[in-house]
Amino acid sequence: MSQTFLPSEWLEQLCDPYAVLGISVSADDRQIFKRYHTLAKLLHPDHNTKNHNLDQKLATVIFSHLINPAYEQLKHRDKRFIAIAMLRSDARVLQQQALSVQSAIAEEIMKMSAPQAKLFYEEAIAFYAEAQYKSLDKFFQVTQQISILNLTYLRLHKPDLFLPQVPIPITPEVEVKPVELTLDEKTNVKPVLTNYAQRHYQRAIEYVRLAKWTLAVQELRDAIKLEPNNSDYYALLGLVHLQQKFIGMAKVYIRQALKLNPENSLALKYAPRLKIQLDENINPKSMGKAISIAALLSRFSQRKRSQVKC
């Protein structure tokens, strides 16, 4: 799809500068600049002359007519607040049902409380952004999905949420180290050949050793369906998500493991790294909701990865 212009309807529909850059509507100055710098290295001809996987003419047009204008708008705080106001106005006009029809992820977000929605929304945006410009033939559809998520998220928050605020210290990212499972960390349950949940769990352990995270996730989800109260399954699933750098989901499953068994050795090992307080008072209903959210987002991530590979 080589061309030197973009269809006019694309320019009209891709009017959300946050979606064009592939960032959330709560992105700060640093995040906006970092994303723009990443896209410049990926698409700008001065930086990307050796990447034969991209249609360079189309990449140049997208960078000039979409990404540059979006960045110019968002790098100025006054213009950024105007953009948020316009998007919020669009969000009020759109019916909730219309958003649900356009995106299954949007439908799930609208069922959540604001804190739950924020975690789910931020991770979904990050995943979409990873795939957004890797295939230019699909960037329009991916950007539209990001725009729908932005509108959905804005429906859930008060109008003053995005006003200038006192900077909040940034929590250092969790350091992810290579995994070495010892015998006492594997399980407190003896494998039984007739126990299908344990079969899934043992396969997951093997996949962890091979760093095949997606396959490990699937096995552990199958195990949890069969034995939903086994803390070992949740602890290992939390560790796998930590290796995938899905920090929010890792916290959910490590917390659930400790809720089921406060002495689970694997969960206790990684709880400090995830800033989890061992004396946290966990509400069973909120934890159950968090687990369902994390499970949905994990399935969504795996499905999108397989689509991108195709």
Q: What is the pLDDT of residues 205-263, one digit of tens each?
A: 988 888 888 888 888 988 888 888 999 999 999 999 899 888 888 888 999 999 999 99
CB 8 within 8 A of CB 15: no
Of the listed ranges 82-91, 171-180, 247-256, the least confidently predicted one is: 171-180
Rounded Cα gap, residues 123 and 126, in angstroms: 5
Report, in angstroms and rounded to the nearest whole number, the Rg of the chain calculated over CA atoms: 21
Each domain of the chain, given as residue ranges in start order, spans: 8-162, 183-309
Q: What is the reported pLDDT for 240? A: 92
Give 270 or 107, the one with higher predicted confidence: 270
Residue (of 198, 232, 233, 199) closest to 217 by Cα position: 233
Sign of CA dihedral 286, 289, 294, 295: positive
Q: Residues 69, 74, 75, 76: what is their CA dihedral angle, to the nearest 10 degrees?
A: 110
Rounded Cα gap, residues 182 and 83, in angstroms: 52
Q: What is the reported pLDDT for 113? A: 76
Q: What percent of the chain shows pLDDT beyond 70?
A: 68
Kindly report, residue by residue over 25-46, the tens digit of the pLDDT.
Answer: 989 999 999 999 999 988 877 6
DSSP classification of residue 193: T
Q: Residues 10, 14, 15, 16: what is their CA dihedral angle, to the nearest 10 degrees?
A: 180
Q: Half-sphere exposure of residue 36, counting CA atoms within 13 Å on the CB side?
A: 20
- pLDDT > 70? residue 178: no
Q: How confident is the model at residue 87 (pLDDT cuts 50, 70, 90)?
A: confident
Q: Considering the domain 183-309 in this protein, what is its CATH number?
A: 1.25.40.10
